[in-house]
Structure 1
Amino acid sequence: DERIYTVALVTDRYCCSLFLAVNTLEYLESEDEEPDDECKWHPDEWGYSDGHGSELVKLSKSLWENHATLPGEAFFFSAMISAMAQVKGSGIFGEGTEEITFFISISDDEDAENLEDSSAMTLNSPELAAAFLNRNK
């Protein structure tokens, strides 16, 4: 019965791992009296992610084992955005999908915000993207 407001697909700076994170308004409100932008928009602070035996964990193992032969970051980030667009388009999040902010991120890189911003502009309506871009203001 919780209301999802954001979903992120997250990798690391070497593009060798993936996890899907989801947060809800209810989880956000339960964690802090006054949620700040860090909790609201930082996937590591969110309430839900894929489990330890998930397919993404298996994919992460394969990425790590084959990272030397992968085609590079730009290709990988593009593939992540494409995958997130497919997840969004699948209807898995139900009727409220158009109210959810989708983006991709890097868990341990100073340039994460640029990737988050560009992916949010690609994956969301102009209104949701604008609100996301103003998240730190």
Structure 2
Amino acid sequence: MSKLWEVFEEDLERAVRNDYLKIVKNLNENIYSVALVTDSFAKSLFLALNTHESLAKAKEKYIREIKPKEDYFKNVLKWTPSEWAYGNDDLTDSEIKNISHKLAQIDDSSDEFQAEFYESLTGVLNTLKKSGLFPENDFTLFISITDDDRSEAVENYAAQLLNSKDVFMKFKERYSDQPA
């Protein structure tokens, strides 16, 4: 691993830890998932988390406003970080925003760059998980890519590395009851 990635991971670990702790400081809800999310070119980054309570409210609102005929929307709301209630964008002093601004300045978006980037994200989340930062029960950790055909594959790969086998198997089947 190059010095660039070592420094990036150190900065990211500190940023995720600090932003996460700021988000959950006064949160009296049960977190079920945390994700680091990027875009197709690995030029932005945000931390998202959701709780069982906010998911229930989102489902109620969706049913009230959209009146869906099918239930598959429930899994979309549950597992799509951009639909989640909490994230570092809610913070005025987010350290992850600073990292995202730095990413936007990097000209490289090659497959090799993106692979190292995803490896770094997964490594940082794994380190933070081992440190005890995240809840341990009924909890899923993963990385995601917004608006990209690769998102489900990246999410599954990261979730397999970051979670127990049982948690991963449930996560892997998250969209299995959606109509084709």
Alignment RMSD:
1.8
Structure 2 gap ranges (5+): 1-27, 64-72
Q: 2:133 aligns with which of 89, 92, 105?
A: 92
Q: 1:60 aligns with which of 100, 108, 111?
A: 100
Aligned partner of 1:26 in structure 2 is 53
Q: In structure 2, how many angstroms separate the alpha carbons of the residues matched to 1:106 and 1:3?
A: 24
Aligned counterparts of 1:41 and 1:53: Cα–Cα separation in 2: 26
Cα offset, 1:98, TM superposition: 4.3
**Moved segments of 4+, more than 4 Å:** none
Which of the two has greater strand per residue? 1
Report how many residues are paired.
Answer: 135
Segments of structure 1 that go 5 or more residues without pairing to the other structure are: none
The share of aligned pairs that are identical, in percent, is 37
1:46 has 2:46 as partner: no
Query: Which stretch shifts more, 5-14 or 28-37?
Result: 28-37
1:90 Cα offset (Å): 2.3
In the aligned structure 1, how far is the partner of 2:92 from the partner of 2:150? 27
Contact 2:142 2:158 in 1 (8 A): yes
Aligned AA (1:100): F
How much does 1:92 deviate?
A: 2.1
- Shift in Å at residue 88 of structure 1? 1.5
- Partner SS state of residue 154, structure 2: helix
- The 5 A counterparts of 1:96-135 are 96-135=135-174
The higher radius of gyration belongs to 2
What TM-score results when the alignment is normalised by the length of structure 2? Answer: 0.70
Aligned twin of 1:12: 39
Bigger shift: 126-135 or 97-106? 97-106
Change (3 A) 1:98 1:85: farther
